[in-house]
Amino acid sequence: MAYTPMIQQYLSVKAGHKDAFLFYRLGDFYEMFFEDATRASQILEITLTSRDAGMKERIPMCGVPHHAAKNYIDTLVQKGYKVAICEQTEDPKHAKGVVRREVVQVVTPGTIMDGKNIDQKSNLYIAAAETSEMGFTLAYLDLSTGEANATYVEGDTKDLFMHLQSLHIKELVVSENLFTNLVELADAYAIVLSIEDELSTNAMDLLEEVPQPLQHAAQRLLHYLEKTQMRSLSHIQQFGFIETHSILKIDANSKRNLELIQTLRGETKGSLLWLLDDTVTAMGGRKMKQWIHQPLASKSAIEKRLQTVTDLMELYFERLEIQETLKQVYDLERLAGRIAFGSVGGRDLAQLRESLRQIPLLKEQLTKSGKAQLMELSSKIDECEDIEAFLSTAITDHPPISIKEGDVIREGFNDKLDEYRFASRNGKDWIAQLEQKEREITGVKNLKIGYNRVFGYYIEMTKSNVHLADLTRYDRKQTLANAERFITEELKEKEAIILNAQEKSLELEYELFTQIREKIKPFIPRIQQLASSVSEIDVFASFASVSERYQFTLPTFHDGQAFTIKNGRHPVVEKMMNKSLYVPNDCVLSDEENMLLITGPNMSGKSTYMRQVALITVMAQIGCYVPADEAVLPITDQIFTRIGAADDLAGGQSTFMVEMIESQHAIVNATKRSLLLFDEIGRGTSTYDGMALAQAMMEYIHENIGANTLFSTHYHELTALEQQLSHLRNVHVSAAEQDGNVVFLHKVKEGPADKSYGIHVAQLAELPDEIIERSRELLAEFESTNTSKPVIVEKIVEKIVEVPGTVAESSDQLTLFAEESAMSDGEKEVIQTLKSLNLLGTSPIDLVVLINNLQQKLTK
């Protein structure tokens, strides 16, 4: 026995798309069989049935209606699956045997163009990666808009996936060799890996601005898209090369910690984007997100943006007019993408036309402002008058959604179409006149002429009125429960004329529309360039509106390292609380003192203070005003943060390990022009380990990097470092006691904090009174018996290794080592090393390494 010819065809097509659900078109349904059916029925919650396939056992089957398939496809893709759409590519009337079917498109998480799950203000990128000497080369593009870029990613595979995560990339295309190295991390980061071993040679003109080492990644990506999309990709723009030194680099961890695009809870509300986004177009929303992802690191480029924002702030009423005009502009980038894909409809082209009609007004508004930067923006705008004129003559004012419903092409565009429409329209007028005439002849007032697809036109009378008519004039067509339907020779003749004209009109209209769509395709680059200009104007207007509303200040930049913020504020926290309650703070870093050690109680605002400094830096370098009375800033090349505590469950790493990995990434990659934020380093391990690591890191940054650094801690012993590290200065977030309760003042002041107020915070959290009182007793006891030495490294040694002779012989505590006579050579060597160790002359980090080595020797 063998499978039926149709199932054999299905299996043949499926063999070429093993990693995708195959939507196999049968009549009005897309069907799935075998394992696809079993899995899809569970994921999509649709009924699983079975089908006779020519074998003894029936095979699993499920299906979805073709008109509703898009929603089901969106659901599968959103969950990380691929869908191969298999259509009939042969007219069944001419088929000999099974109708020929072929896959016409593969929809993947990185290539979905639109749908209910697509955020109109977000890019949806797909990327390809290759290994390189520095790490990886990366090419990525948004298929819906055609925007494409290429860049280098330094580091290992985790650095690559952190970069992908920061861009919200859902699908990565790699060679089969690289696939095996990345598959585990891809699962952990929920990124779909796709294999493509061939390179495209069809679009080398798109790579003119891309350095040679990056071109293979772009070619691999383009070939994958050619293979899966199987249609024109003419809207893909030239790949831009993102030079790492031209942008302020912020790794994925820091973007998350600073809540630039989303909060730590994964919500937009409460992020910097949420605060700044006053854009009125989808294009502007995406552009703003891109700018926040990649702030500038060029002083001249930043100042040019700031001048544009300043111009718009000075022109309040003109800015409102510009924003009102922008509201009438649709998403030109994604409209261009649909034109290239051949999926554009009549309503889309009408939206394009209406958008282009706003451009002359927008250009005039910018020009008459008299501001140099706005006039320069105006000069770059292509009004696309020829495109607008063509669409105005071709497309009706209010076309329907479907291009097969008719009434898409404007009257006067095509003579033949006008003839068909005239015949159809006059025929309908004739039908109306005939209905009135028959009512008068028969005297049946409720007589009507109707139409359905089965019987065509008919004359209908209720049975109670049939006796009034001269039935010799009619041929009976159909008998209903309460009515009779008739036809006349005259009505038959007119029906043929009307229906023929309607059919030919719809056929010709569809043909004309496809021609119009093809004529628009060459204009795609101009439309995309216009979209880029419009989106920039939208972002600048948004920056101006937000800056004015929240009374932000114009930042200034210099070529040095000094950092001066007066009365700085965390813009999001300020917005979410009563502004009058927010306590602003200064942050001053000089060339002589560019490291702040921040102490103070929990909940006092240390983390908020550190974040606000970073956010002010980001806002300034994307070209926006900042929340401060004054901001004089250096150009920062990178921001690194280690804020908050979270396990990496996917990677199997503890809170402390995550803390160490993020810290290592910052210290290894930071330069003198970077900004480092470290919040309570070492809290994930024991006190002495934590203090040692914190001090060692501060010393290393101080001596070897010299970056602007904000370092908060609860280890008050570290405040003594102000005497040892010349560039370090102690500050604290103040608090006061009132009637036994702590009051957080949220004001950053000079010098170290005098106490931590930990028990007061516990009291605020409403722990039971018994615990609070017992804590106070224990604290007093600990403080009265505190014999700790001022040098942290001595504490570490005393804690980790008890050297013979340092503990009284009468003590009950066991010593680490046996009597010397019973020691091994290795143990003797360890003892000798400890005896000769110069504690005060050894840095904490060297000491930790040494002790680790000694422990390993003892273990062996």
Lowest average pLDDT, out of 64-78, 302-316, 688-702, goes to 688-702
278 domain residue, yes or no: no
Token digits for 167? 């861009």
Burial class (CB within 10 angstroms; exposed 0-12, middle 13-18, buried 19+) of 32: buried
pLDDT over threshold 80, residue 104: yes
pLDDT category at 601 given cuts 50, 70, 90 is confident
Please answer whether residues 336 and 349 qualify as being in contact, where contact means their C-beta atoms are separated by less than 8 angstroms.
no
What does the mean pLDDT of the chain come to?
A: 85
Tell me, yes or no, whether 498 and 565 share the same domain. Answer: no
| The predicted structure's pLDDT at residue 684 | 57
Query: What mean pLDDT comes out for the span 233-255?
Result: 89
Query: 602: annotated binding-site residue?
Result: yes
CA distances from residue 531 to 335, 525, 709 in whole angstroms, order as listed? 10, 10, 40
Which residues, in sequence order, are CB contacts of 649 under 8 Å at separation 6+? Answer: none
Q: Which of 22 and 204 is assigned the larger pLDDT?
A: 22
Alpha-carbon gap, residue 84 to 108, rounded angstroms: 9
For 435, half-sphere exposure in the C-beta direction (CA atoms, 13 angstrom radius) is 18
Give percent above pLDDT 70 in the chain: 86
Tell me, yes or no, whether 500 and 532 share the same domain. Answer: no
How many other C-beta atoms lie within 10 A of the C-beta of residue 165? Answer: 17
Lowest average pLDDT, out of 15-19, 264-268, 623-627, goes to 264-268
Q: Where are the alpha helices (DSSP H) in 259-298?
A: 272-276, 282-293
Query: What mean pLDDT comes out for the span 621-641?
Result: 96
Question: Strand, coil or helix: what is 585?
Answer: strand
Please answer whether residues 185 and 162 qualify as being in contact, where contact means their C-beta atoms are separated by less than 8 angstroms.
no
Query: 605: annotated binding-site residue?
Result: yes
Q: Which of 286 and 165 is assigned the larger pLDDT?
A: 286
pLDDT over threshold 70, residue 260: yes
| The predicted structure's pLDDT at residue 489 | 85
Tell me, yes or no, whether 421 and 476 share the same domain. Answer: yes
pLDDT over threshold 80, residue 855: no
Alpha-carbon gap, residue 275 to 85, rounded angstroms: 41
pLDDT over threshold 80, residue 412: yes
Query: What mean pLDDT comes out for the span 367-373?
Result: 91
Phi and psi at residue 125, in whole multiples of 5°?
-95, 150
Please answer whether residues 191 and 172 qualify as being in contact, where contact means their C-beta atoms are separated by less than 8 angstroms.
yes
The string of DSSP letters for 331-392 reads: -HHHHHHHHHHT---HHHHHHHHHHHHHHHHHHHHHHTT--HHHHHHHHT----HHHHHHHH
Alpha-carbon gap, residue 619 to 557, rounded angstroms: 13
538 domain residue, yes or no: yes
Which amino acid, one-letter code, is at 79? K
Express each pLDDT in 826-851 by its tens digit. 777 777 777 777 665 565 556 666 77
Tell me, yes or no, whether 344 and 429 share the same domain. Answer: no
User: Distance of alpha carbon 176 from its chain centroid, rounded?
Assistant: 27
pLDDT over threshold 70, residue 786: no
Q: What is the CATH number of the domain that holds 475?
A: 1.10.1420.10
Lowest average pLDDT, out of 147-156, 528-537, 600-609, goes to 600-609
Tell me, yes or no, whether 606 and 629 share the same domain. Answer: yes
Q: Pick the closest to residue 82 from 17, 156, 38, 129 (CA basis).
A: 17
777 domain residue, yes or no: no
For 694, half-sphere exposure in the C-beta direction (CA atoms, 13 angstrom radius) is 32
282 domain residue, yes or no: no
* Nearest 10 degrees: Cα torsion 289, 290, 292, 294: 160
Query: 606: annotated binding-site residue?
Result: yes
SS (HEC) of 119-175: CCCCCCEEEEEEECCCEEEEEEEECCCCCEEEEEEECCHHHHHHHHHHCCCCEEEEC
pLDDT category at 158 given cuts 50, 70, 90 is confident
Express each pLDDT in 264-282 by its tens digit. 888 889 999 999 999 999 9
Query: 607: annotated binding-site residue?
Result: yes
Tell me, yes or no, whether 716 and 593 share the same domain. Answer: yes
Please answer whether residues 384 and 526 qualify as being in contact, where contact means their C-beta atoms are separated by less than 8 angstroms.
yes
How many other C-beta atoms lie within 10 A of the C-beta of residue 432? Answer: 11
Alpha-carbon gap, residue 598 to 694, rounded angstroms: 13
| The predicted structure's pLDDT at residue 252 | 81
Best-predicted range by mean pLDDT (116-125, 182-191, 346-355, 652-661): 346-355
Residues 73, 75, 77, 83: is their CA dihedral positive or negative?
negative
Tell me, yes or no, whether 27 and 149 share the same domain. Answer: no
Q: Pick the closest to residue 401 from 356, 349, 327 (CA basis).
A: 349
Q: What is the pTM of this model?
A: 0.80
Tell me, yes or no, whether 583 and 726 share the same domain. Answer: yes
| The predicted structure's pLDDT at residue 117 | 64
How many other C-beta atoms lie within 10 A of the C-beta of residue 483? Answer: 16
292 domain residue, yes or no: no
Q: What is the CA radius of gyration of the chain?
A: 37
pLDDT over threshold 70, residue 800: no
Which residues, in sequence order, are CB contacts of 636 under 8 Å at separation 6+? Answer: 248, 297, 617, 621, 673, 674, 675, 708
| The predicted structure's pLDDT at residue 582 | 85
580 domain residue, yes or no: yes
How many other C-beta atoms lie within 10 A of the C-beta of residue 562? Answer: 16
Q: Pick the closest to residue 106 from 234, 192, 204 (CA basis).
A: 192
Express each pLDDT in 296-338 by its tens digit. 999 999 999 999 999 999 999 999 999 999 999 999 999 999 9
Token digits for 301? 């480029």
509 domain residue, yes or no: no
**Is beta strand 21-26 parallel, antiparallel or unpaired with respect to 595-599?**
unpaired
**The total number of structural domains that make up the chain:** 6
Tell me, yes or no, whether 633 and 567 share the same domain. Answer: yes
| The predicted structure's pLDDT at residue 356 | 97
Which residues, in sequence order, are CB contacts of 745 under 8 Å at separation 6+? Answer: 583, 604, 733, 734, 735, 736
| The predicted structure's pLDDT at residue 660 | 74
pLDDT over threshold 60, residue 793: no
Q: What is the CATH number of the domain that holds 565?
A: 3.40.50.300
Lowest average pLDDT, out of 131-145, 604-618, 776-790, goes to 776-790
Domain residues for the domain of 237 are: 125-242
Lowest average pLDDT, out of 711-725, 768-782, 838-852, goes to 838-852
Tell me, yes or no, whether 56 and 198 share the same domain. Answer: no
Tell me, yes or no, whether 744 and 797 share the same domain. Answer: no
pLDDT category at 294 given cuts 50, 70, 90 is very high
Q: Pick the closest to residue 402 from 509, 503, 498 (CA basis).
A: 509
Express each pLDDT in 499-512 by its tens digit. 888 888 899 999 99
272 domain residue, yes or no: no
Q: What is the CATH number of the domain that holds 33?
A: 3.40.1170.10
Q: Where are the alpha helices (DSSP H) in 199-260?
A: 212-229, 252-258
Tell me, yes or no, whether 394 and 422 share the same domain. Answer: no
